[in-house]
Structure 1
Amino acid sequence: MRALFSTEGLHPRNAFRQWRDMLCTQMVPNEIRNLAAAPFHGRIEFTAIGSLPITRSVQSSTRTEVTPEAVRRNGRGDRLYAVFTESGHHAVQQNEREAVARTGDFVVLDHRPGVSEIETGSVLILDLPRERLESVLGPSQLFTTLTVGTNLASTTLANTYIRELIRVGDRLTPDAATRMASIGVDLMVASLAERLVQEVPRSIQGNATVQRAKAYIDDHLGDTTLDPPQLAAAVGVSLRRLQELFQERGRHISDYIWGRRLELAAKRLSDPACAHLSIGMLAYGCGFSSQAHFARRFKDRHGISPSEYRQAHRWNVQMVAATSKLPFESA
């Protein structure tokens, strides 16, 4: 990981002030208070593996309050943050919940007002797209500020994988990095899903039904006849009940189906392995009955046509490959 900031070498009297100013200026403008009795020490490191930004904070004890004003100024409501505790103790209050994470645990936070206290130690912060997690788990209120502990085997697996991914990340090709980062996010989602099973029984039953429905959708995205009645019959509930379950999670069934088709289409448009497919063939393979229908929905979602999206990603891949061959001096 690349070092972004360190208090090493700073006068002890100025260390915390400069740390606080750096976080508020370069990252998120929060209210931060030093809880350490000894002189403050802190270090921020950063890496990005594929499209997954990862920050490591090694620091003395602090208390951070995210105020409503900070939320308004930051404007990153489309993001979620998975915080892995590498060492020390992390306590957080948000969304009318309290969570305590110890070494090996993680907790997902959204960008809402809250209070966080970190005991001297180290945390990893993974910047995640909200839509990716909510498409599987439902609204973020269901799974944020829950301690996902090492008592779950899936948590230990996710923790180990993320640390190893950071270690080898600079040796991965851009395409491999994207794929490996996606696997890491999937492991976190699996841990969160297992943790949610421990929640309220009715919520468990509803979540299980929705998860079966979403799995069926993903397995049948190429079926142009897939619709809500067919889906309800496949998972063994009434259409009305399935609609209620999706609406409780802030989605409509049809919107979710089309959204997943568009996600699959975007993934294939940016995948070099699918470059030989025409736009029409790709659209049909993702469940669209016509290329015109696909183009209209895709442009509504992404603001550009499918062919423009494919070309833009092809150019990005070429630029990344070219840049990776350029010599850079060490910082």
Structure 2
Amino acid sequence: MLTAVSCAHRDLAPGDRLAAWQRALSRTFVDVEVRVAHDRPWTGELTAERLGALQIATEDFGPGTVLRGARTAAADPRGHILVRRQLTGTALLLQDGRTAELHPGRLAFHDARRPFRIVLPERQRARVFMVPRALLRLEERQLSALTATAVDGADGGAAGLLLPLLDGLADEVSRSDPGRREQLARTVVEILATVGLERIGGQPESALWERITASVRARLGEPGLAPQDIADQHAISLRYLHRLFQLQGTTMGAWVRARRLEAAHEELAGPGAAHRPIAAVAARWGFTSPSHFSRAFRDTYGMSPAQWRRAAGTGRGG
């Protein structure tokens, strides 16, 4: 559901604007206090989209300051993680003794359980993702190290690949049908977790990558195994799946082919291989064509499967 909140000069009387804007931000995100300089003009516009547990909002506001104090945080039970992606203008995000200076293209996390301050020296525009902390699957110590640290896609690494994808997914949400939106939301959360983990020096794709590769290994014998099958199994988009393999310098097709060949290579050198037809070994590991298997095996290991079996001492020739 898409909801819109507006607080512009033309909408409300001057005396009511600030209170209305504070209520809008608190209702959309978490309870906050808003401060503005009364001798400077300001406006605020807000749209928010809920996708199950995930919320994606676009905020156009400034100049001003948004505060969440210790007392407010203690009284408000919402413990979400907010992720601010700066679109235009600048912002300073302060939390846990750190300050993230946000320019267009930068992103930073902040934790609703603890006080934070967002200083907006000018009118600016930002996209804010609000995620239940459990969905990010980051430990509390990792979240504490992550807050108010700027992530810049220009620095390379996973962020350089994933932040443009994040923007595309966020734009795609409003154009997608309800069934598709749920899948997009899960992909957005996976990207945010990956980017956050990389920022604090972890292996960004490690948890998801391990789950994906373990499931692929378990299905190597399925000849028709396709990337879409794996993407659906892990509730991520096909595009994100391809990105994860790209981060490893490969494709899913190449990775699966290499693992199948490794498994067949190991089986042909093992006990009992002398009495097992090579075509049966190929089929066991997902190769539907024995001739294709033999060519791929020779290209990889420099000898045919039969030659390898003899060299490994299993004693049977073709």
TM range (shorter): 0.5 to 0.7
> Aligned ranges for residues 217-236 of structure 1 at < 5 Å?
219-220=213-214
Spell out, residue by residue over 1:215-265, the C-alpha distance to the aligned partner (whole angstroms, 9 max, x if none).
Answer: 546654899xxxxxxxxxxxxxxxxxxxxxxxxxxxxxxxxxxxxxxxxxx
Cα separation, partners in 2 of 1:11 and 1:212, compared to 1, 3 Å: closer
Deviation at 1:125, TM superposition (A): 1.1
Task: Say whether residues 1:193 and 2:200 are aligned partners.
Answer: no
Cα separation, partners in 2 of 1:212 and 1:183, compared to 1, 3 Å: closer
Deviation at 1:59, TM superposition (A): 1.0
Whether contact under 8 Å (1:92, 1:117) holds in the other structure is yes
Whether contact under 8 Å (1:84, 1:104) holds in the other structure is yes
C-alpha distance in structure 2 between counterparts of 1:211 and 1:12, whole Å: 49
Deviation at 1:164, TM superposition (A): 2.9
Whether contact under 8 Å (1:89, 1:101) holds in the other structure is yes
Cα separation, partners in 2 of 1:216 and 1:50, compared to 1, 3 Å: same
Specify the structure having the higher radius of gyration (Cα). Answer: 2
Q: Secondary structure at the match of 1:46?
A: strand
Task: Say whether residues 1:144 and 2:147 are aligned partners.
Answer: yes
Whether contact under 8 Å (2:90, 2:104) holds in the other structure is yes
Residue in 2 aligned with 1:52? Answer: 54
Deviation at 1:33, TM superposition (A): 0.7
Whether contact under 8 Å (2:50, 2:56) holds in the other structure is yes
C-alpha distance in structure 1 between counterparts of 2:28 and 2:140, whole Å: 31
Number of corresponding residues: 218
Residue in 2 aligned with 1:99? Answer: 100
Residue in 1 aligned with 2:63? Answer: 61
Whether contact under 8 Å (2:138, 2:193) holds in the other structure is no
Output the amino acid matched with 2:54.
L
Cα separation, partners in 2 of 1:61 and 1:157, compared to 1, 3 Å: farther
Whether contact under 8 Å (1:36, 1:61) holds in the other structure is no
Residue in 1 aligned with 2:86? Answer: 85
Structure 2 portions without partners, runs of 5+: 218-231, 236-318
Residue in 1 aligned with 2:186? Answer: 182
Residue in 1 aligned with 2:74? Answer: 72
Output the amino acid matched with 1:41.
T
C-alpha distance in structure 2 between counterparts of 1:51 and 1:184, whole Å: 12
Residue in 1 aligned with 2:245? Answer: none
Deviation at 1:178, TM superposition (A): 1.6
State which of 34, 37, 40 in structure 1 corresponds to 2:36: 34
C-alpha distance in structure 2 between counterparts of 1:216 and 1:166, whole Å: 26
Residue in 1 aligned with 2:5? Answer: 4
Whether contact under 8 Å (1:137, 1:193) holds in the other structure is no
C-alpha distance in structure 1 between counterparts of 2:138 and 2:22, whole Å: 35
Task: Say whether residues 1:131 and 2:122 are aligned partners.
Answer: no
Q: Secondary structure at the match of 1:42?
A: strand
Deviation at 1:26, TM superposition (A): 6.2
Q: Secondary structure at the match of 1:107?
A: strand
Whether contact under 8 Å (2:57, 2:127) holds in the other structure is yes
Residue in 1 aligned with 2:115? Answer: 113
Q: Secondary structure at the match of 2:5?
A: strand
Whether contact under 8 Å (2:59, 2:127) holds in the other structure is yes
C-alpha distance in structure 1 between counterparts of 2:94 and 2:87, whole Å: 19
Q: Secondary structure at the match of 1:171?
A: coil
Spell out, residue by residue over 1:59-115, the C-alpha distance to the aligned partner (whole angstroms, 9 max, x if none).
Answer: 1211122111211221122x2111111111111221222211111111011111122
State which of 160, 175, 187 in structure 1 corresponds to 2:164: 160
Deviation at 1:51, TM superposition (A): 4.1
Compare 177-186 and 212-221 and name the one that shifted more.
212-221
Deviation at 1:131, TM superposition (A): 2.0
Q: Secondary structure at the match of 1:139?
A: helix
Deviation at 1:43, TM superposition (A): 0.7
C-alpha distance in structure 1 between counterparts of 2:25 and 2:129, whole Å: 16
Cα separation, partners in 2 of 1:92 and 1:177, compared to 1, 3 Å: same
Q: Secondary structure at the match of 1:106?
A: strand
Q: Which protein is richer in helix relative to its size? A: 1
Question: Runs ≥4 in structure 1, deviation > 6 angstroms?
Answer: none
State which of 16, 19, 22 in structure 1 corresponds to 2:21: 19
Q: TM-score, normalised by structure 2?
A: 0.58
Output the amino acid matched with 1:57.
E
Query: How big is the alpha-carbon RMSD for the aligned residues of Structure 1 and Structure 2?
Result: 3.5
